[in-house]
Structure 1
Amino acid sequence: MSDTITTPPIHMPLTTADRCDRCGAAARVRAVLSTGGELLFCRHHFNEHEARLIDMGATVVTNEDELV
């Protein structure tokens, strides 16, 4: 029997080049989906879609100096 080691995914910090997938504003939040995809959101669109992202089991990642 082999043991499988699972490591958490590594996410690059958001940069000024990262843009919201909804409106093109500066991205402040990365939502990593359980299927492996990811979505980038500005704060406004993250707030709008937060409940659905939680229902989908998404992992929310922000830069360390940002609060969600």
Structure 2
Amino acid sequence: MTPTLTPPPEAEARPVTGERCDRCSAAAKLRVTLAGGDDLVFCGHHANKYAESLVKIAVDFTADSEFDWRGSELLTSEN
């Protein structure tokens, strides 16, 4: 079983509105927070393409309210 890390309570996820994908510069749909506190931001295409890898390294995520990220299903099925 993989341990789950949680960010400190004072850490608040920033919304993805107005940001651009780190891979292709399309409109961001997902922000993934890593254990070290860094963020990765992805468009819907790249968020779903890399979902299996992202759930392994993410401690938290914020998705656009209208975006259904495949990784959220993977996180739910692991718990």
TM-score, normalization by structure 1? 0.75
Q: Displacement, 1:41?
A: 0.1
Q: Structure 2 unaligned runs (5+)? A: 1-7, 70-79
More deviation in 54-63 or 43-52? 54-63
Q: Displacement, 1:48?
A: 1.1
Query: How many Å separate the matches in 2 of 1:38 and 1:57?
Result: 9
Match of residue 9, structure 1, among 11, 14, 21: 11
Aligned to 1:55: 56
Query: How many Å separate the matches in 2 of 1:54 and 1:8?
Result: 22
Aligned to 2:35: 34
- 1:10-68 deviations in Å (ceiling 9; x for gaps): 1222222x000000000000011111110100000001111111112342211334332
Q: Aligned-residue CA RMSD in angstroms?
A: 1.7
Aligned to 2:26: 25
Residue-pair matches, total: 62
State the one-letter code of the partner of 2:34: L
Percent identity between the two aligned chains: 32
Between Structure 1 and Structure 2, which shows a larger proportion of helix residues? Answer: 2
